[in-house]
């Protein structure tokens, strides 16, 4: 659904309008991916909580700025991953699209 994989271009987030194989549209309605923000929010929570836990327990509860800088750096670096996976997950959950083996391979 994206023009480039994470391996090819980490920060390129361009999407195809339609699936190159089966013509399935990737935007079922305008603003569809607004809801993907909530999936992305879950991802950042899943990243932030373990970092907080690790810093608190293994780095002797450092200054609040250490928490902020470490969490913001990791989230900024992983942002393309969260962006792409949250859109893909949201499309699968709420896009009304089902996998059709006819078009695979």
- Closer residue to Zn ion in complex, CB, 19/37: 19
CA distance 89 to 40: 10
Alpha helices, DSSP H, located in the chain: 36-58, 64-94
Q: Which stretch binds Zn ion (CB under 5 A): 1-9, 20-28, 37-45, 78-86?
A: 20-28
Residue closer to Zn ion (CB basis): 23 or 29: 23
Q: How far apart are CA 89 and CA 13, in angstroms?
A: 15
Q: Report if residue 21 touches Zn ion, rule: CB under 5 A.
A: yes
Largest Cα span, the chain: 55
Determine how many CB atoms are found less than 10 A away from the CB of residue 51.
15
Report the residue number whose CB is nearest to Zn ion.
19
> In the set 6, 15, 19, 93, which binds Zn ion (CB under 5 A)?
19
Binding site for Zn ion (CB under 5 A): 19, 21-22, 24
């Amino acid at each position: 659904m994206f023009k480039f994989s994470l391996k090819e271009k980490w920060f390129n987030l361009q999407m195809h309008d339609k699936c190159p194989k089966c013509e399935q549209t990737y935007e079922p309605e305008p603003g569809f991916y607004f809801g993907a923000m909530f999936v992305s929010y879950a991802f950042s929570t899943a990243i932030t909580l373990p970092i907080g836990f690790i810093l608190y327990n293994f780095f002797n509860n450092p200054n609040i700025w250490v928490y902020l800088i470490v969490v913001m750096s990791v989230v900024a670096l992983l942002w393309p991953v969260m962006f792409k996976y949250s859109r893909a997950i949201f499309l699968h959950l709420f896009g009304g699209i089902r996998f059709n083996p006819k078009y695979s391979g």
